[in-house]
Amino acid sequence: MNSAPAAIEPAPGAGPWRTLLRRLRRNRAALVALVVIAVLIALALGAAWFAPHAYQDQFRGAEMKPPGTRQLTRRPGELEEASRAFVLGTDVNARDILSRMIYGARVSLSVGILATLVSLALGVLIGLLSGYFGGWLDACLMRLTDTVFAFPSVLLAVAITAVFDKPSFLVVFFALGLVGWTGIARVVRSQVLSVKTLDYIAAARALGAGHGRILLYHVLPNCLGPIVVLGTLSVGGNILGEAGLSFLGLGVQEPYPSWGGMLADAQGHYRDAWWLAVFPGLAIVATVLAFNLFGDGLRDALDPRTQK
C-alpha cells in the first residue's frame, strides 16, 4: 500500500511491505527496539506468570528494603515465614518493586496504544476532511486544531480528567487521546493536499467515484506511511503523558501499580530509598525510547529519499 518508496525501488517480486521489512531489517536500532517492545508486551500480557510476587502483597517486616534483599517474611494471613527475594527492593508498603513494575507495564502499554488509537481516529478524520474538502470546513477545522494545540497538553489532560468524578484507566486514555490528535491532523491534511492533485484521483472521479470512496480507497492508502510513523511515535508520547498523569495522582488508582504512580510514591524518600525513584523511571525511558527508535526506523524505511 505504501507504494511511493516501492515504486522507486524496482526489485523484482518485492511488494511494498517486503521492501519495508527489508529496509527495517538493516536498521539495527529499530530491530533492537522492536525486540524490546515485544518483550514488554509479553511481560504485560503474562504479568501473572512473570512477576515473582503479587503486586498488592505486603510482606511483613520488609518495608523499603534495597535491591537484592532476601529475607524471611510472611504475608498477612500466612502463618509461616518464608524466605523471599526482592530483586529490585521493596516500597514503603513492603511491596515488591519488580512485580509492581511488571504489572505497571500493562497500564503504560495499554494506555499508550489505546490513546494513540483515539488520537489517530480523530486526527486522520479531521485531517482527511480538512485537506480534501478545503474551504470553510478546512478553515474551521484548522482553527479548532490551533486551539487544541495552543493548550498545554498536560493541563488539558488534567482538566479533562477533572471533568470525570474519579480518575481511572478509561479516563486517562480518553483524555490523552483527545489531547494528542493535532499533530496527526496537520500531517494528514498536508499529505492529502499533495495527494488530491494527482492524476489518479481525477481518474477515480472521472469513473464516477463518490467523495467517500475516493477518500477511503484512494486518498487514505497514500497517507498510510506518515500515519503509521506518527502513530508509533505518539505511543511513546502517550506513555510519557500517562506517567505524568499518574505521577499527579490522576491515573490508575492504588493498589494497582503504574510507573508514574510508583515515582510519586518515591518522593520524599530520596535520602533513604533511592531505588524507589530509579527503577520505575528507567522502565519508562526504556519503553518510550523503544517506541521512538522503532518509529524513527519506520520513517527512514518509508522515506524514498533515504534510498541506497
Partner 1 sequence: MLTFILRRLLQALPVMAGIVLVCFALLKLSGDPTRILAGERAPDYVRENIRKKWRLDEPWPKQLAFFVGGLVSGELKSYTHERPVGEMLLEGASVTLRLALGAILVAVVLGLLSGIFSAYRPRSALDYAAATGASIGISIPAFWLAMILTLIFGVKLGWFPIGSYKAGRPEYLAIPIATLGLITTALIARLSRSCLLESLSQDYVRTARAKGLSEVRALLGHAFPNALVPIVTVIGTNLAGLMTGAVLTETTCSLPGLGRVIYNAINSRDHPVILGGCLFFALVFVLVNLAVDILYGVLDPRIRHE
Stretch that binds partner 1, among 11-19, 155-163, 184-192, 209-217 (CB under 8 A): 155-163
Kindly state the cell numbers that stand for 253.
Answer: 488508582
Kindly state the cell numbers that stand for 248.
Answer: 499527579
288 binds partner 1 (CB under 8 A): yes
Q: Residue holding cell 538493516?
A: 26
The residue from 14, 24, 54, 278 that contacts partner 1 (CB under 8 A) is: 278
The residue from 3, 69, 110, 292 that contacts partner 1 (CB under 8 A) is: 292
Q: Minimum distance from CB of 248 to partner 1 (Å)?
A: 7
Q: Which of 251, 254, 225 lies closest to 240 in space, CA to CA?
A: 251
- Cα dihedral across residues 170, 174, 175, 176: positive or negative: positive
Stretch that binds partner 1, among 17-25, 86-94, 146-154, 220-228 (CB under 8 A): 146-154
Cα dihedral 202, 204, 205, 207 in deg (nearest 10) = 120
Stretch that binds partner 1, among 42-50, 125-133, 214-222, 276-284 (CB under 8 A): 276-284
The residue from 10, 49, 77, 271 that contacts partner 1 (CB under 8 A) is: 271
State how far the Cα of 155 lies from the Cα of 124, in Å rounded to an integer.
24
Nearer CB in complex with partner 1: 127/237: 237
43 binds partner 1 (CB under 8 A): no
113 binds partner 1 (CB under 8 A): no
Q: Minimum distance from CB of 278 to partner 1 (Å)?
A: 7
Residues 180-239 that bind partner 1 (CB under 8 A): 236
State the chain's maximal CA–CA distance in angstroms.
80
Kindly state the cell numbers that stand for 65.
Answer: 528494603
State how far the Cα of 70 lies from the Cα of 89, in Å rounded to an integer.
9
Q: Minimum distance from CB of 119 to partner 1 (Å)?
A: 17
The residue from 50, 133, 256, 274 that contacts partner 1 (CB under 8 A) is: 274
The residue from 49, 83, 163, 207 that contacts partner 1 (CB under 8 A) is: 163
Nearer CB in complex with partner 1: 86/247: 247
Q: Return phi, psi of residue 31, to 5°.
A: -65, -45
34 binds partner 1 (CB under 8 A): no
State how far the Cα of 123 lies from the Cα of 117, in Å rounded to an integer.
10
State how far the Cα of 285 lies from the Cα of 208, in Å rounded to an integer.
51
Alpha helices in the chain (DSSP H): 3-8, 16-25, 28-45, 47-50, 97-133, 135-150, 153-163, 169-179, 182-195, 199-206, 211-213, 220-247, 259-266, 274-302
Residues that bind partner 1 (CB under 8 A): 143-144, 146-148, 150-155, 158-160, 162-163, 165, 236, 240, 243-244, 247-248, 260, 263, 266-267, 270-271, 274, 277-278, 281, 284-285, 288-289, 292-293, 296
